[in-house]
Amino acid sequence: MDLFEKCYAPSLQAEIREKGIYPYFHALESRQDTEVIMEGKRRIMLGSNNYLGLTTCPEVIEAGIKALEKLGTGCSGSRFLNGTLGMHLELEAELADFLGKGDAMTFSTGFQSNLGIISAIARLGDYILCDKEAHASIYDACRLSFARTYTFNHNDMADLERLLVSLQGKNGGILIVTDGVFSMSGDIANIPEIVRLAKKYGARTMIDDAHGLGVLGNGGRGTADYFGLADEVDIFMGTFSKSLASLGGYMAASKEVIDYVRHSSRPFIFSASIPPANCACALAALRHLRAHPELPKRLMSLSNHLREALISRGVKIISSDTPVVPIYTYEVFETLEAAKEIYERGVYLNPALPPATPEHEALLRTSCMATHTEALLDEAAEIISSVLKERVYLKESKND
């Protein structure tokens, strides 16, 4: 068999390209903002994870420019050797303080953060219990770790306890890992019950809070803080590419755990460090968040406004308490056709398809920023609802 045979086989991407409903790689021609120019036309941006809108914050931009001018374009090496800047240490110290942990460490990307943390902490002979709807990077990290991995049904605490009971008496440590906020549905993990079960059965806990930092908790401190359980969760992981308007990721935990991972994590040791400008932007964004704790509240108010605007127009959504507002569309091709029409009328959103969603549960994923306005969200809701209503009418007409 030719190694490249799989590349020439029929595929979903080829089929949807042929149908003219391919939704990916639209070219952005302006800043990542509430309104963007994409492929020559104004679009309302409802498909970004720029939750606090800080990619256009003057303080954040200025910090990146100054770092680029002072420190150059890159570090040319790993943190382990020549790639540590004083600014990296500053960022880690401020993250640890903000999250209430003993220490923190940074990684070059969010995806790499999960690879680096989980593969170092969980080894051959250990066990990982992972929510079935966890991010792809968690699944890949579990494979890299060589630990035996089991998945529990999404947010199903009875299923998690069943797995914990089955591991009692076995050698090896147990890590329970979950997203804090699930990126497609906007669901919030049941952290109180996860913490309770972890204590009961002697497991450790880790939250991927990529979509929770800057969104939930006191001043945006994340999902565990939202439940008042920041001290009870062992490891926080997060990214700078969402609320902190940059690129990279982090781990926050006790000093001993961080020191162990720093000296054991191959994805950390053998990767170049975050470039100066990215580091400076993340640090400036974190400081801006700390200085403006009202931002997450404004974000939540706008998210509730979008939910109400869609519901009042008859759009069926998945209810959540986060900036992620998913719209039911169910089938793949209907979802892609609707996404294309909405895009052409001036709103960018993300079609979410299996395996990112369960079969027959494809979604149109929308998300808010703290810098949106109610008027802009109303305009977007009107476009979305009109397209979806027309599509239902067209579908019914075809069936008549």
Q: Are 326 and 363 in contact (CB under 8 A)?
A: yes
Residue 183 designated active-site: yes
Kindly name the residue from 88, 101, 135, 211 that is annotated as catalytic.
211
- Start-end of H helices in 35-177: 58-71, 86-99, 110-121, 136-145, 157-166
Beta bridge partners of 317: 327
- Start-end of H helices in the chain: 5-8, 12-18, 58-71, 86-99, 110-121, 136-145, 157-166, 191-201, 223-226, 255-262, 266-269, 276-291, 294-312, 332-344, 374-399
- Amino acid sitting at position 1: M
Which structure tokens are listed for 96?
Answer: 């640890």
* Cα angle value 149/179/281 (rounded, 5°): 125
Kindly name the residue from 108, 113, 145, 183 that is annotated as catalytic.
183
Whether omega before 323 lies within 30 degrees of 0, making that bond cis, reads no
Length of the chain: 400
- In which residue are the tokens 């994340």 written? 222
Strand order in the sheet with 35-38: 35-38, 41-45, 347-348
Kindly name the residue from 88, 242, 288, 340 that is annotated as catalytic.
242
Q: Are 68 and 277 in contact (CB under 8 A)?
A: yes
| Backbone CA torsion sign across 72, 77, 78, 80 | negative
Which residues are annotated as catalytic?
183, 211, 242
